[in-house]
Chains A and B, each alone.
Chain A
Amino acid sequence: MFKKILIANRGEITIRVARACQELGIATVGVYSTVDKTSLHLRYMDEAVWIGDSAPLASYLNIDAIIDAAKKTKSEAIHPGYGFLAENELFASACENAGIIFIGPSSKSLALVGDKIASRNTVKKLGVPIIPGMEMANTDISKFKITAKRVGYPVMVKASMGGGGKGMRIVRNEKELESSIAAGQREAKSSFGDDSIYLEKYIEQPHHIEFQVLRDKFGNCVHLYERECSIQRRHQKIIEETPSPVLNDDLRMKMGEAAKRVIETADYTSAGTVEFLLDKDKNFYFLEVNARIQVEHPITEMVTGVDLVRQQILIAAGEKLKLRQEQISQNGHAIEARIYAEDADNDFLPSPGKILFLNEPSGPGIRVDTGIYQGWNIPPHYDPILSKLIVWAEDRKSCLPRISNALKNYILLGLKTNISYLRRIINTKKFMIGKYNTHFIGENEKNLKPSTENLDIALIAAALDKEKEKLSLTTETSIKSNPWKEIGEWEICKKNT
């Protein structure tokens, strides 16, 4: 087993990985950018190395600095978390060249699954269904027109190196095609440094369902069932649940086996996720492989009882997978809600700022994977994810009020977050009965507006607070003077930032 692991990330996932390391008796090395010297993740590290300025390119995407930090601290392995360099084959091969174990698939497997078109073609040969479309990226607009006509509008223009919804465009007719291609190329270039795009049929009213797979270096492979990830804003997931309300056991088995075949063909080791789209007639299509631990991995952990990050570390250390497919079952129901620093009622505009007050929920079946603390100034440089609320209950029916209540008790004051918005989603009739697809947010805008029902109570509370403030000030000054108040605003060792 490893003695020391460097975690090349920040925020909640870094803390999640550190916990797994600590339980395995492995020392942790954290890295941080200039602005992150006050970040929560550093509290969970045995050592910490500054890797560059606040901009992601200078720090968390800086391969040389991270490899140097690993060498300097004699770390034997690097866990990349998600995002940043997690699926970057150059980073994986830089680790391989430096003799450091990359906790994830090999650079070769990464290259194969990272290229969406290459993986589509590989998967097609396996007999796993793929969405009809182009077999290679192209720049020739006439080729796009021919394919679009063949598969039928609407179609989707996608970046071949894409992810997270970047570079994706729905095209309803031929007139829109040319401008969508240009826009897709621009976005692909700025997001991934590569402007290759391709086209495929657009699946209407789809469900986004993914399967978690684990595979070791000896070829042992299991799947840990699905995650339903259809609640998305801007093509990014915000609520996930497992089991999916739309799968039956037969389809679940078929998709799970298909996911394993995909992972095996890519000779992929570690934890990986195979994403599928399920259309309204319950046909499934392979979408892509997510070659990392995913944001939503905890819901799988809650229903299967398997610690996925621990498994990643064991597999990377060359251990054999001890789990067998028939031992893994889905026990109960789990839902995750992602807490973001964003103004959900105003086009999800990012909302960095200072956390004035924080009280995270607790109770039976409630897990909070957090990366924040009260008093912290959330920097504007990185992803707006702050924490994840994961809730487990014996069945879906009891899971819904539990997560709704937990969100009600998730108090984060000082900036705008999506907490009440998430609760409104959970409480819609459509979500309650499990009838939703990836269009949910767009189609339910009206039902997701904030309510002013509690505004009067808020106004009374604010007025009472001001009144009490005034009363205490007058009593304080009249009884005795307060030296701290007289100095004015003060803070120990305050630095001008």
Chain B
Amino acid sequence: MEYKFIHLDKIYSVKLEKKDDSYRVVVDNNTIYEVVDVGAQPNVISFKVKDKLQSVYFASDKDKTYLSVNGEYFILELEKGKTSSAKSAAQQKGNSVASPMPGLVVKIPVKIDEKVTAGTTLAIVEAMKMQNELSAPCDGIVKRINFKEGEQVDALKVIVELETR
């Protein structure tokens, strides 16, 4: 069985092949591991690789799996053929600005039909006492404003859209 995961915008393939008590695992079509399943507790999966016991903490939310391995953290998103939500939001960003985090829209210093140049602040979003200025990725005209000042915004939601010529 092959699974594909996205980690920091890169896709990794993991092929599992069951062999008696162990798995033959091929990561990214080049590294081969012999993996012996040891057991699982809630949110912990233990297996042996090259005789070293690995106990990995994990928790999943929809297609995202959060893992802690030997003190380092990873977020892996299951790749299901179509582009991931994170990617499509990034692509949309071409001529718009989206909030990088859930928070509060503090200020939208531009108006509809206003001409802006690349780098102009289009919105200020605040979360956890930190303000984040979102600036225009390119020159353009403000086409849509999807939020009002004082409104809550979720991560990756587009706040201001530009029209470019």
A-side interface residues toward B, CB under 8 Å?
341-342, 348-354, 356-357, 359, 380-384, 407-408, 411, 413-414, 416-417, 419-420, 423, 450-451, 453-468, 470
- B16, B25, B65, B71, most chain A CB atoms within 10 A: B71
The residues of A that contact B14 with a CB separation of less than 8 Å are 459-460, 462-463
Pairs A–B under 8 Å by Cβ, sample size 13: A357-B58, A380-B127, A381-B104, A420-B71, A450-B72, A450-B73, A453-B72, A455-B7, A457-B49, A457-B54, A461-B54, A462-B67, A465-B60
The residues of B that contact A384 with a CB separation of less than 8 Å are 128-130
Closest-CB distance, A148 to chain B (whole angstroms): 27
Interface stretch of the complex, out of B27-35, B89-97, B115-123: B27-35
The residues of B that contact A356 with a CB separation of less than 8 Å are 59-61, 66
The residues of B that contact A461 with a CB separation of less than 8 Å are 45, 47, 54, 56, 58, 67, 69
When the two chains form the complex, which single residue of A380, A450, A455, A465 contacts B65, counting CB atoms closer than 8 Å?
A465
Docked-complex contact A454 and B74, CB < 8 angstroms: yes
Complex alpha-carbon distance, A413 and B59, angstroms = 6
Is B78 part of the contact surface with A, judged by Cβ < 8 Å?
Answer: yes
When the two chains form the complex, which single residue of A382, A454, A465, A467 contacts B58, counting CB atoms closer than 8 Å?
A465
Chain B, 64-91, CB within 8 A of any chain A CB: 65-76, 78
When the two chains form the complex, which single residue of A341, A383, A411, A455 contacts B57, counting CB atoms closer than 8 Å?
A411
Complex alpha-carbon distance, A365 and B131, angstroms = 37
Complex alpha-carbon distance, A357 and B66, angstroms = 9
Q: Which residue of B lies closest to A408 (CB)?
A: B71
Docked-complex contact B35 and A460, CB < 8 angstroms: yes
User: Main secondary structure on chain A at its contact with chain B?
Assistant: mixed
Q: Which residue of A lies closest to B69 (CB)?
A: A454
The residues of A that contact B60 with a CB separation of less than 8 Å are 356, 465
A349 and B100 contact, Cβ closer than 8 Å, known pairs A356-B66, A461-B47 = yes
Chain B, 37-58, CB within 8 A of any chain A CB: 37, 40, 43, 45, 47, 49, 54, 56-58
Docked-complex contact A462 and B65, CB < 8 angstroms: yes
Is B112 part of the contact surface with A, judged by Cβ < 8 Å?
Answer: no
Docked-complex contact B57 and A359, CB < 8 angstroms: yes
Query: How many positions in chain B have a CB within 8 Å of any CB in the partner chain?
Result: 50
Docked-complex contact B69 and A414, CB < 8 angstroms: no
The residues of A that contact B65 with a CB separation of less than 8 Å are 462, 465
Is B135 part of the contact surface with A, judged by Cβ < 8 Å?
Answer: no
The residues of A that contact B49 with a CB separation of less than 8 Å are 457, 460
Complex alpha-carbon distance, A349 and B45, angstroms = 30
Closest-CB distance, B22 to chain A (whole angstroms): 11
Complex alpha-carbon distance, A451 and B8, angstroms = 13
The residues of B that contact A453 with a CB separation of less than 8 Å are 72
Closest-CB distance, A114 to chain B (whole angstroms): 19
The residues of B that contact A382 with a CB separation of less than 8 Å are 128-129
Docked-complex contact A413 and B128, CB < 8 angstroms: no
Q: Could you list 20 further interchain pairs (A-B, Cβ under 8 angstroms) beyond the known A352-B127, A462-B3?
A: A350-B127, A357-B57, A359-B57, A380-B101, A408-B71, A413-B43, A413-B57, A413-B67, A416-B75, A450-B73, A455-B12, A458-B56, A459-B27, A460-B33, A460-B54, A461-B45, A461-B54, A461-B67, A463-B3, A464-B23
Closest-CB distance, A104 to chain B (whole angstroms): 22
Is B137 part of the contact surface with A, judged by Cβ < 8 Å?
Answer: no
Docked-complex contact B58 and A456, CB < 8 angstroms: no
Docked-complex contact B128 and A451, CB < 8 angstroms: no
Docked-complex contact B101 and A357, CB < 8 angstroms: no
Q: Which residue of B lies closest to A469 (CB)?
A: B60
Is B103 part of the contact surface with A, judged by Cβ < 8 Å?
Answer: yes
